[in-house]
Amino acid sequence: MTSKNNLLVELFVEELPPKALKKLGDAFASVLRDQLMAQGLADAGAVLTAYASPRRLAAHLTNVLAQAADRAVSQKLMPVTVGLDASGSATPALLKRLAALGADASVVPGLRRAMDGKAEALFFESTARGATLAEGLQKALAESIAKLPIPKVMSYQLEAGSELPGWSSVSFVRPAHGLVALHGDTVVPVEALGLQAGRETQGHRFEAQVDPIVLRNANSYAVQLADEGAVIAGFEARRLEIARQLAEAALSVGAGSQPIDDDALLDEVTALVERPNVLVCEFEREFLDVPQECLILTMKANQKYFPLLDAAGRLTHKFLVVSNIRPDDASAVVGGNERVVRPRLADAKFFFDQDRKKSLASRVESLAKVVYHNKLGTQGERVQRVMRIAHNIGEQLGAAASDITLAPHAVQAAQLAKADLVTDMVGEFPELQGTMGRYYALHDGLGPVVADAIEDHYKPRFAGDALPRSAVGIVVALADKLETLVGMFGIGNLPTGDRDPFALRRHALGVVRMLIERSLPLQLHALTRGAFAVFPPGLLEDRSVDLDEFLIERLKSYFKDEGYSAIEIEAAVHVRELGAWSTIPKRLDAVRAFASLPEAAALAAANKRIGNILKKSPEADAHVSELLLKEPAEKALHAAMLQIVPVADVQFDAGNYTASLRTLAALRGPVDAFFDEVMVNAEQVDLRLNRLGLLMLLHAAMNRVAQLERLAS
């Protein structure tokens, strides 16, 4: 049996793109493992460890074979009738095929004969030699490099003295300078990107104790890099160390201090340093007069700093820096970072002071010069449309809540919602749109109702984000998202596959969440038609049906994520008179409760049967004459309906859908007896129409809460 040992492969490169590092490291290691497993050099029990630092991608895999086991191979040659003549001798076609496989006529008697579909075929049995590790790793390494999710490829010339001529170029994410491949303590002779594998790598650019580092074996990689190279090779290990140091440094500043919680920033910083060292810095307190969102964003986005918050979540004048060096005296590093951040904060203060010299209202006119979309006009035109939609929705909700101020406040907020797009601060930091609008609205003397709505109209910005905090914010957010959806659908900019450049799925989910989670008494059909109506005639194609279906699909996805089954959702959503979507959660709960009743299966099957009957009976009319009720079973069903359906309807009208379906469940006995004893399609026309009318009334009553036939198996 061939020997097993642990394998280490490392690509040593120039600084990799930080936002892609973790994905690159995971992909490099996982593809390498999968390729070795596919060739029989590793099994499913092999433990993979991925390493990724700014200057290296590496993988450590346990129990890798020096050579894969030989394997039996069965190759179909051709049908027997083609390969053998009447006397059983090989035909020229068979001999030619065997020759291509390195065999001759001597193997013909040993060929296996087996059925292949309807014909008998000849099969050549042979043994394939297992791949050596050098062969298998070469293939795996090439595949791993080829499949890296590289954000942008660069080409560079190979160094002089490499295997390929110096003028040859290679394409990779960054220039590669070293390749390590160790099976135990043995170098595996492979090559990649013009590099020959060895056992030497490099540590930290400035603080390595040894250069180069000569790796003893595959298992010593992480330890030697840490001890001799001053490098924490593992991405997760480095991330945990940074998080630990951040918490420790925050505690040293004072009880309750905490670094801002930002996983994306932590990942990016982890990808920027090999030997993290967290230091405490500070800036002048006067900058705290600027909205903290501005200061936090400039420190995070431009400098990759971690702002420090106090126990109440307010920004302090201190921040944390993750340095890549550990000098004995860190004062120069601290001072340098403090000098660097000061101009950034000064710029933010300047923008804030300048922007407040003009009111938001005075900026609205400038939106007429800002192009929104070449087919949909300017931001100014868009604002007018959003104002009209907001007015219509505000009128409806205001009437329902007896709030005459809702519509005027919503229209005012909609008018000012995009005005901060033409401020200096948002021009520098687009991420602050809405946020700065709120600050400037408050500075202009507008109340918090309008100011909060200006900020909140972008919400929810992402999955799990909070909804607008007030009714005015809800109205403006709905209007803004509906205008976007209607406009983009109307000019044919629909999402396709993974492409959704205008985030229409996110906008649609936002509409769904607001309608459901805020229990708004609004109908989808009326909302979309009302939004289409505010656009100039002829500007858009009428894709209202497509948009409704798009929103309904987002609705289904929303409830699926809430834990409801596809059958429950289909039953609750596809009812003839759905009305406001705010009723759907209670409908779903009612469907789930009904499905647990012993009568549920029979009634669902009966509803499906009734539906099929009525589809084939267009002449049916929802009317019953008691004089034409002849059979005892149909009389009993009619009597039961007269007693039970009014009670269920009262419960339905009161919004008690679960009780309504439970009440209707009492019809199971009469319904079963009706189908057992009554011929619906009677030859006598008046009897047939009367029975169809009875079934129509029953079907309508049973399917007000949900389409019960969808529960039938």
pLDDT tens digits, 45-75: 899 999 999 999 999 999 999 988 887 778 8
Q: Is 0.95 surpassed by the pTM of this model? A: no
Same domain flag for 95 and 108: yes
Report the pLDDT averaged over residues 562-580: 91
User: With 70 as the cut, is the pLDDT of residue 456 above it?
Assistant: yes
By percentage, how much of the chain surpasses pLDDT 70?
98
Average pLDDT, the chain: 93
**Cα separation, 483 vs 468, whole angstroms:** 17
Given a contact cutoff of 8 angstroms between Cβ atoms, the answer to whether 496 and 542 are in contact is no
Given a contact cutoff of 8 angstroms between Cβ atoms, the answer to whether 584 and 572 are in contact is yes
Given a contact cutoff of 8 angstroms between Cβ atoms, the answer to whether 59 and 47 are in contact is no
Model confidence over 499-510: pLDDT tens digits? 888 999 999 999
Q: For residue 214, give both structure tokens.
A: 């000569």
Same domain flag for 629 and 499: no
Residue 580 belongs to some domain of the structure: no
Cβ-count burial 313-325 (b if 16+ within 10 Å, e if not): eebbbbbbbbbbb
Could you count the other beta carbons within 10 Å of the beta carbon of residue 272?
Answer: 17
Same domain flag for 405 and 502: yes
Residue 572 belongs to some domain of the structure: no
Same domain flag for 189 and 225: yes
Largest alpha-carbon pair distance within the chain?
A: 105
Which range (4-13, 198-207, 451-460, 609-618) has the least confidence? 609-618
User: With 60 as the cut, is the pLDDT of residue 263 above it?
Assistant: yes
Could you count the other beta carbons within 10 Å of the beta carbon of residue 577?
Answer: 7
Count how many domains the chain has: 5
Same domain flag for 516 and 373: yes
Report the pLDDT averaged over residues 311-325: 95
Same domain flag for 268 and 319: yes
Which range (80-89, 447-456, 458-467) has the least confidence? 80-89
Same domain flag for 603 and 454: no
Same domain flag for 159 and 54: yes
Residue 634 belongs to some domain of the structure: yes
Residue 576 belongs to some domain of the structure: no
DSSP code of residue 654: T
Which range (117-121, 176-180, 463-467, 595-599) has the least confidence? 117-121
Determine the angle formed by the axes of helices 668-677 and 600-615, rounding to 10 degrees.
Answer: 50
Residue 107 belongs to some domain of the structure: yes
Task: Please give the pLDDT value at position 448.
Answer: 96
Task: Please give the pLDDT value at position 621.
Answer: 87
Q: Which of 339, 355, 371 is the last residue of a domain?
A: 355
Cβ-count burial 190-206 (b if 16+ within 10 Å, e if not): bbbbbbebbbebbbbbe
Model confidence over 77-133: pLDDT tens digits? 889 888 888 888 889 998 899 888 888 888 888 888 888 888 889 898 887 788 899
Same domain flag for 415 and 340: no
User: With 70 as the cut, is the pLDDT of residue 2 above it?
Assistant: no
In degrees, to the nearest 5, what angle opens at C-alpha 601 toward C-alphas 595 and 607?
105
Nearest one of 330, 346, 272 to 305, comparing CA atoms: 272
Residue 570 belongs to some domain of the structure: no
519: left (phi over 0), alpha (psi -120 to 50) or beta: left
Model confidence over 128-168: pLDDT tens digits? 788 899 999 999 999 999 999 987 888 887 765 545 444 56
Task: Please give the pLDDT value at position 1.
Answer: 44
Q: What is the CATH number of the domain that holds 516?
A: 1.10.3210
Residues near 117 by Cβ (< 8 Å), separated by ≥ 6? Answer: none
Residue 579 belongs to some domain of the structure: no
Model confidence over 217-260: pLDDT tens digits? 999 999 999 999 999 999 999 999 999 999 999 999 988 899 99
Residue 381 belongs to some domain of the structure: yes
Which range (146-155, 188-197, 215-224, 356-365) has the least confidence? 146-155
**Cα separation, 672 vs 529, whole angstroms:** 43
Task: Please give the pLDDT value at position 620.
Answer: 82
Q: For residue 237, give both structure tokens.
A: 């290990």
Report the pLDDT averaged over residues 601-626: 89
Q: Which of 319, 340, 355 is the last residue of a domain?
A: 355
Same domain flag for 413 and 555: yes
Task: Please give the pLDDT value at position 344.
Answer: 94
Q: For residue 347, give both structure tokens.
A: 């710029």
With bands split at pLDDT 50, 70 and 90, how would you rate the model's confidence at 316?
very high
Q: Which of 529, 563, 597 is the last residue of a domain?
A: 563
User: With 80 as the cut, is the pLDDT of residue 491 above it?
Assistant: yes
In degrees, to the nearest 5, what angle opens at C-alpha 678 toward C-alphas 677 and 681?
145
Same domain flag for 200 and 266: no
Cβ-count burial 494-517 (b if 16+ within 10 Å, e if not): ebeeeeeebbbebbbbbbbbbbbe
More confident residue, 117 or 480: 480
Same domain flag for 368 and 439: yes
Given a contact cutoff of 8 angstroms between Cβ atoms, the answer to whether 701 and 641 are in contact is yes
* Domain boundaries, position 502: 362-563
Q: What is the CATH number of the domain that holds 662?
A: 1.10.730.10
